Every structure is written in C-alpha cells, then in structure tokens.
C-alpha cells in the first residue's frame, strides 16, 4: 500500500530526465510555445462546438460560458505555470502529481491525459473532415458517402435512405469510415515524427492564418449584428451557462499541451509561464468576441450545429465570407490536431521513463530526437477512432479528463508549497491557497454538469488503467529500483 502513495522528489525527477538515454531536443521559444497553445485552443471549440453549445445549452449567454470557463482556466493556468517553472520536463500534470500526491494518483492522471488527448484528437480530425468536405463540394468534388462518414453515423443515415449503399460488406454489414479524418491523422503523425521544431514552424504559420480568419469574423460580422437576437439572453437559465461551459471546455486544453512540451523549450522556466498564460488570455478574449458576433447575427435556435461560423455568414447572404471561414477552419483544426497529437506521445514518454509503461514507449528517434514509437502508435489510434466514431461521442468524453487534470494541478500547488517551500520557483501563483482552491471549485461546478454517460466512460477507462498499473507499472516503477 505504501508504494501506491510514494512520491518522487523534485531533484530526482530533474536528475532522471537528465540521465535518461533518450533526450528530447530543446528548440522551442516563448513565441513557439504561445503559438502551440493558441493552435490547440482555437479550433474545434469555436469552429464546431459553438453551434451545439449555443443552440442547445446556453443561447446568447454562451458568451458568459466562455468567460466562466476562461476564468476557471486562468486559475489552473497559473498553477500550471508555477509547476512548469519548477519542473521543465515532459509529462505535464502527470509529472506534477508524481512529485506531490503519489504514484497511484500520478498514474491515474497520466492515464486520464492519454484518453483526453487521444479522444480529443479524434474529435478534431472528424471536424476537420467535415469542413474539408464542405470546401471540396464547392468545387464539385464529392467524396462517396461510405468514405466520408464514420460507421455509426453512416448506418443511421443509411436507414433513413439519406446516403448511398457501400460497395464493401463484412458479414452482411456495410463498411464505412471517415477517410479524410484518418488521412489527416496519419499526415500529422509523419510530421511529428520528423521533428518538433518543424512541427512548431508549421503550426505557427497555420496559427497566423487562423487568427486572421477569427479577426475577420469579428470585424465583418459586427456589421450584421442585430441586438434583438440577444433576447432572451438566458433562454436556458443559469444551468445553461454552466452546461455550455462544460461543453466548450474541450477547447481549453491548449495550455496543458504547452506544458507537455516543457522538455523541448529553450528557456523553460521563463518561456513556459509566458506561453501558458499568453495563449489562454488571447484565446479567451477571441472566443467571447466571436460568440457575441455569431449569436448577434443569427437567432440562437437557428445556429448551425456543424459549421456555425460559416453558416452564420451564409445566413446573412455572404457566401463568399463563408468560403473564407471554411478555409480558415480547415487550417485551424489542422493546427489543433498537430498540438494534441504532439502532446499524447510525451505523456507516454514520461510514464515509460518512470518505469510505469514499457520501455518501448520511451524510445527516442536517433535522428529526429522525437518519441517516435509513441507518436506512431498515437497516430494509428487516432486515425482509427476518427474514422469510425461520431464527433459528438468523442467531444463529450474529453472535457471531464481536462477538468480532472486541472483540479489535481491546483491541489498539487497547495501541497508542494507545504512540502517543499524552499524549492526555487521562477514563477509563483499569487494568493495561495485562495486561487488554487477557486480553480478546484470552478472545475468541480462544471464537472457536475456533465452527462452521466461521460462519467461512466471515464470509470471504464480508469479500470483498464488500473489493470495495466497493477499488472506492470507498480512492479516496474523506477522507485522500486531505488528502494523507495
């Protein structure tokens, strides 16, 4: 039982990362890290989920949902920044938990982060496919139904007679999968194996295009706002605001992704806090402004659930603008996918280095300096999930993992301030424990407003994780070798 709650001292974590035979290259600047955060945050949350959240959850008050989620994230972001300045190595919340609340909880949060990034990547790839198909259709390029829908969605549409029959059958069942979603996942995998710096440069270019599109939406859409569309402002009441915040919280995992790249930052103790806080601040402001514009352009109950931003401009007769937005959405979702798929292998890498997962996951490519084995496995899994699973099922599984991770990091800051007050902190959260406790409370409020099915899926995933941990991880932990 004692082994379940053993912690790894900060000095040991830092020393082990230095001694590990696989070292990641430090190539990322504060600008690169901020761009990575923006690349992950501005994507599915604004290009896809805004429609569902506004129409079914919060109405025009979705602006307050984004504000509430942004404030909750701010508390967590400050805590992440403090840890990142102390532990500038791969692993994110998993590593932070290992140093404070023990090995079992570290395993739980690491396993939870793997689910968060894997399922989140699948959701983004599915949304990317939706926008690509819309663009292709404008040029007369139609992808066959059985190659443009996931299996479950295709079967439902087939029963309704809305799609053509698949030419491939297996055991009397038609075969269908989302080919564009799978292909983009594999493309990003190749890019990530080649190198993190090359991936960051590609992401920075995409982020520039994406932010330009978002600013275009805000400025151009301003002239089509009708204030009467903001009435009623609270069609679903206060619960709708919280439900909306829980739904769109999926979008805010970007700054957590920044911390997973800590071991590849040039000056991590300085640049990581900048990247985390700057990306969150910029994106929260843009989210609120875009939501104000879209709900002002279109009555909340008429907002499109699949492509809300492009559809809003089509609603006011500006199809040319809808085309530009669709291009921006494809670019935007590509950068989100790149950052999310970059993060998951680095969680595998950190857990393998601690002995909790097989050494195969900790292999670093001799030429590229990237965790190639874990990256390839991640890419294959995401390609499969994106090809065969509906986006709505994927998105609703992600937020709870994010909220759980954020809450644990907030608690860990309080614990470590007591356990290691002398530890050097290049960045310190102000007003501890008040701000971390507020972060935990805000996250808890959103968690209780998630659907029961989401909790069930989380429990099933954690049970699978316990089987792996007690069957392998606990026995092979590096702390066993150290006699701790």
**Digit-coded pLDDT (tens) for 424-476:** 787 888 999 999 999 999 989 888 877 788 788 888 888 999 999 999 999 99
- What pLDDT score does 482 carry? 59
**Interval 354-400: pLDDT, tens:** 899 999 998 888 787 788 899 999 999 999 988 988 766 676 677 77
Mean pLDDT of 144-154: 86
Please state, rounded to an integer, the average pLDDT across all residues of the chain.
Answer: 83
Is residue 312 a contact partner of residue 304, using CB atoms and an 8 Å limit? yes
User: Given the structure tokens 């069942």, which residue do they identify?
Assistant: 173
Every domain of the chain and the residues it spans: 2-481
- Is the pLDDT reported for residue 20 higher than 60? no
Verify cis geometry, omega within 30 degrees of 0, for the bond prior to 232: yes
Residues 409 and 97: their CA atoms lie apart, in Å, by 7
DSSP structure string for 110-136: HHHHHHHHHHHHHHHHHHHHHHHHHHH
DSSP state for residue 433 in the 8-state scheme: T
- What pLDDT score does 24 carry? 61
Contacts of residue 387, defined as CB under 8 A and 6 or more positions apart, other chains included, come to 150, 177, 178, 179, 181, 182
Please give the C-alpha separations between residue 187 and each of 190, 333, 338, 375, in angstroms, as whole numbers. Answer: 5, 13, 10, 12
- End-to-end, the C-alpha distance of the chain in Å comes to 12
- Is the pLDDT reported for residue 102 higher than 70? yes
Is residue 364 a contact partner of residue 372, using CB atoms and an 8 Å limit? yes
- What pLDDT score does 450 carry? 77
Residues 129 and 179: their CA atoms lie apart, in Å, by 8
Predicted TM-score (pTM) of the model is: 0.79
Residues 410 and 412: their CA atoms lie apart, in Å, by 5
Q: How many residues are present in the chain?
A: 484
- Is the pLDDT reported for residue 82 higher than 80? yes
Class of domain 2-481: mainly alpha
Mean pLDDT of 29-33: 82
Backbone angles phi, psi at 26, to 5 degrees: -90, 100
Give the pLDDT band of residue 199 (cuts 50, 70, 90): low
Decide: residue 77, CB within 10 A, 0-12 exposed, 13-18 middle, 19+ buried. Answer: buried
- What pLDDT score does 278 carry? 86
- % residues pLDDT > 70 (the chain): 90
């Amino acid at each position: 039982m004692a082994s379940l709650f053993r912690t790894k001292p900060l000095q040991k974590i830092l020393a082990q990362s230095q001694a590990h035979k696989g070292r990641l290259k430090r190539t990322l600047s504060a600008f690169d890290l901020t761009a990575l955060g923006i690349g992950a945050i501005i994507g599915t949350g604004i290009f896809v989920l805004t429609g569902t959240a506004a129409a079914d959850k919060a109405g025009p008050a979705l602006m307050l949902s984004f504000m509430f989620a942004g404030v909750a994230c701010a508390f967590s972001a400050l805590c992440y920044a403090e840890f990142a300045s102390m532990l500038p190595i791969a692993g994110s919340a998993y590593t932070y938990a290992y140093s404070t609340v023990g090995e079992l909880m570290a395993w739980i949060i690491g396993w939870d982060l793997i689910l968060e990034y894997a399922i989140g990547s699948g959701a983004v790839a599915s949304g990317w496919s939706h926008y690509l198909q819309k663009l292709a259709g404008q040029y007369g390029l139609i992808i066959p139904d059985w190659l443009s829908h996931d299996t479950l969605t295709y079967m439902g549409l087939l029963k309704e007679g809305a799609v053509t029959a698949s030419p491939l059958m297996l055991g009397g069942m038609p075969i269908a999968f989302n080919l564009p979603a799978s292909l983009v996942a594999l493309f990003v995998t190749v890019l990530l194996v080649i190198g993190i710096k090359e991936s960051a440069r590609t992401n920075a270019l995409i982020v520039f295009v994406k932010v330009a599109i978002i600013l275009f939406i805000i400025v151009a859409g301003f002239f089509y706002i009708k204030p009467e569309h903001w009435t009623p402002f609270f069609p679903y009441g206060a619960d709708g605001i919280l439900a909306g915040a829980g739904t769109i919280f999926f979008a805010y995992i970007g700054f957590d992704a920044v911390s997973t790249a800590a071991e590849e930052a040039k000056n991590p103790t300085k640049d990581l806090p900048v990247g985390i806080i700057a990306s969150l601040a910029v994106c929260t402001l843009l989210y609120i402004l875009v939501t104000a514009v879209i709900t002002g352009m279109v009555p909340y109950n008429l907002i499109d659930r699949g492509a809300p931003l492009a559809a809003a401009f089509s609603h006011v007769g500006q199809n040319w603008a809808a085309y530009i937005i669709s291009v921006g959405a494809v670019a935007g979702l590509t950068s989100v996918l790149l950052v999310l798929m970059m993060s998951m292998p680095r969680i595998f890498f950190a857990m393998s280095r601690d002995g909790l997962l097989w050494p195969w996951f900790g292999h670093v490519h001799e030429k590229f300096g990237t965790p190639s084995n874990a990256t390839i496995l991640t890419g294959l899994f995401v390609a499969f999930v994106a090809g065969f699973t509906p986006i709505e099922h994927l998105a609703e599984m992600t937020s709870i993992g994010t909220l759980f991770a954020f809450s644990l990091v907030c608690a860990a800051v309080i614990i470590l301030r007591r356990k290691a007050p002398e530890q050097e902190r290049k960045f310190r959260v102000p007003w501890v424990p008040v701000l971390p406790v507020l972060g935990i409370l805000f996250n808890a409020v959103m968690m209780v407003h998630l659907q029961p099915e989401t909790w069930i899926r989380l429990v099933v995933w954690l049970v699978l994780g316990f089987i792996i941990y007690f069957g392998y991880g606990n026995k092979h932990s590096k702390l066993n070798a150290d006699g701790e």
